[in-house]
Amino acid sequence: PADTFHNLQELRHSASLATKVFIQRDYSDSTICKFQTKFPAELDSRIERSLFEETVKTLNCYYGEAEKIGGQSYLEGCLACATAYIIFLCMETRYEKILKKISMYIQEQNEKIYAPRGLLLTDPIERGMRVVSFANTWDVFLSVGTTLKENVS
Amino acid sequence: MSAVMITRKVTRKWEKLPGKNTFCCDGRVMMGRQKGVFYLTLFLIVGTCSLFFAFECPYLAVHLSPAIPVFAVLLFVFVMAMLLRTSFSDPGVLPRALPEEANFIEMEIEAANGNVMAGQRPPPRIKNVQINNQIVKLKYCYTCKIFRPPRASHCSICDNCVDRFDHHCPWVGNCVGKRNYRYFYLFTLSLSLLTIYIFAFNIVHVVLRSVDSGFVNTIKETPGTVLEVLVCFFTLWSVVGLTGFHTYLISLNQTTNEDIKGSWSGKNRVQNPYSHKSIIKNCCEVLCSPTYPSVLDRRGVMLEDLSSPTPSDASAASTHQSSNPVSQTTKSSAPLIPNEHTPDEAKPGIGSGTQKSTSSPKEEKPPSPTSPNAVAPAVIKESSH
């Protein structure tokens, strides 16, 4: 039992290592939150380039909207300053509202596009806004399935 | 069964965060390590203002205007709010890379470096990025195992990488970074105003009162004045100077860290790629940009694994609680992933579970065949309660 337990852990470990693709930040436009739209080679066989690019571009749009310095951000900033920022204890900031929209979008994309292709898109906020990661979910099922067959027989 | 489930303690993510921060109020408050100087700051501000309200304000309210203490109270409240906001909020800490991300980066680095000859030092880990047509070097942080984003720096006191790191301020007991820089600036600005205000009205009070009762008597009646004047005098020079310095930095869109290191000064060096070349635009970006949320999720719940005997953990026995519901459904449909942590002997209460495991004929009883069965009794068990 200990041997198979370890094998299973290692399988999962190596599967999680080998099958995660990280999309890094694109800093060409200064420090605003933007992810590279370059299509990684590892996803070549798994998903169409256009779908991938559309997802990343939409995410970039959302973040751009959240970080936009314009009328609404001035208003929010001035109002908050006038109340010594106490208003932030009860009110949700614009950025937080957009983050919620982003997580709904990611969930929707996972359900419609990525889960059927055996991929899982993670929300960048879970990684400190550094990367968008695509995890491969199929390899794990496959390797675990074979272990099952061996032991039950 | 239910008694076992109740004793399970909820661990919040802040308890497991690496780094040397102090947390209070169940993760709502986040500070740096050394807090002694912060208490001194609090004491000085509250103490001096209390003396002002006690000694000067009654006289000034009557003889000049009641607006004077009212304005002083408002200013004092603002200063305290800004100080507490600066000290208690997350400065913009970048979470450390999880093993998968760290390994991915290591593989990228090794691929970029090629073969290093034995005995030779490997090249420094630097990534070049182009920002606004200037080449900026991103350094690798060995503690956090990430390439630091532009303008981020590692604070050795708090042992964290902080985004747009300005400096670690012992007076506020915290790092000053992207998320709390504007509060810090407003704190120094309002404190300067408060200090000037108290200093000025102390002088006015002494002058007015001396006209009536003479200088020596005035000091005897309001001994606090001497203390206040002393504190204000010394504070003025440092705080007003600091405010001026930060106003200069903001107009150039620079951080203290960059200024000290001379990142953008000198002929051969890169010009500041973050500056908008306009003072107003720079000020707007630093002070009026949207408030960034914390990426740390300090109060997120971390679910117990390994030691907890409750089988209800089987469905969520991972150390990373994902707020993304899709990943949770993925986990529950892959029963083997959570259950490899649930030891076999920790299922005494699941009668059906143990029966199934003991009835598997003659084999060694590895966790894999029992785990899918274990999920079923766990589900059954929960519904029965």
Nearest to B370, CA basis, from B385, B347, B349: B347
With CB atoms and an 8 Å threshold, state whether B324 touches A9.
no
A7 in a domain, yes or no?
Answer: no
B49 flagged as catalytic: no
Q: What is the pLDDT of residue B72?
A: 95
Q: What is the pLDDT of residue A6?
A: 54
Chain A residue numbers with beta carbons less than 8 Å from the beta carbon of B131 are 27-31
Average pLDDT over residues B275-286: 87
What distances in angstroms separate CA B366 from CA B105, B227, B296, one per listed residue?
Answer: 35, 76, 38
Tokens of B274: 């973050």
Mean pLDDT, all residues of chain A? 78
Q: What is the pLDDT of residue B278?
A: 87
B154: alpha, beta or left? (left if phi > 0; alpha if psi -120 to 50)? beta
Q: What is the pLDDT of residues B185-225, one digit of tens each?
A: 999 999 999 999 999 999 999 999 888 888 888 888 888 89
Exposed, middle or buried, B374 (CB in 10 Å: 0-12/13-18/19+)? buried
Give the count of alpha carbons within 13 A of B115, CB side only. Answer: 2
Q: What is the pLDDT of residues B245-273, one digit of tens each?
A: 999 999 999 999 988 888 877 766 678 88
Q: What is the pLDDT of residues B74-133, one digit of tens each?
A: 999 999 999 999 999 999 999 998 888 888 888 888 887 776 666 777 777 888 888 888
Nearest to B289, CA basis, from B164, B168, B367, B179: B179
Question: Which stretches of chain A are assigned E, i.e. beta strand?
Answer: 20-23, 119-121, 132-136
Q: How many domains does chain A have?
A: 1
With CB atoms and an 8 Å threshold, state whether B293 touches A94.
no
Highest mean pLDDT among B80-89, B278-287, B293-302: B80-89
Q: What is the pLDDT of residue B195?
A: 96
Domain of A145, in residue numbers: 21-151
Q: What is the pLDDT of residue B229?
A: 92
Average pLDDT over residues A18-23: 75
Average pLDDT over residues B143-159: 91
Q: What is the pLDDT of residues A109-134, one digit of tens each?
A: 988 888 888 888 888 888 888 888 88
pTM to 2 decimals?
A: 0.76
Q: Read off the pLDDT band of B304 (50, 70, 90).
A: low
Say how many residues make up chain A: 153
| Percent of chain B residues topping a pLDDT of 70 | 74
A135 in a domain, yes or no?
Answer: yes
With CB atoms and an 8 Å threshold, state whether A69 touches B363.
no
Q: Read off the pLDDT band of A151 (50, 70, 90).
A: low
Q: Is residue A130 helix, strand or coil?
A: coil
A2 versus B154: which is more confidently predicted?
A: B154
pLDDT of B362 strictly over 50? no
| Chain B residues 27-86 with CB within 8 Å of chain A | 77-78, 81-82, 85
Chain B residue numbers with beta carbons less than 8 Å from the beta carbon of A85 are 81-82, 85, 183
Task: For an interface test with A, give the residue of B13, B104, B183 to mutate (most A CBs within 10 A).
Answer: B104
With CB atoms and an 8 Å threshold, state whether B368 touches A123.
no
Q: Is residue B33 helix, strand or coil?
A: coil
Q: What is the pLDDT of residue B348?
A: 44
- The domain locations on chain B are 13-95+166-288, 99-162
Q: Read off the pLDDT band of B2 (50, 70, 90).
A: low
Say how many residues make up chain B: 385
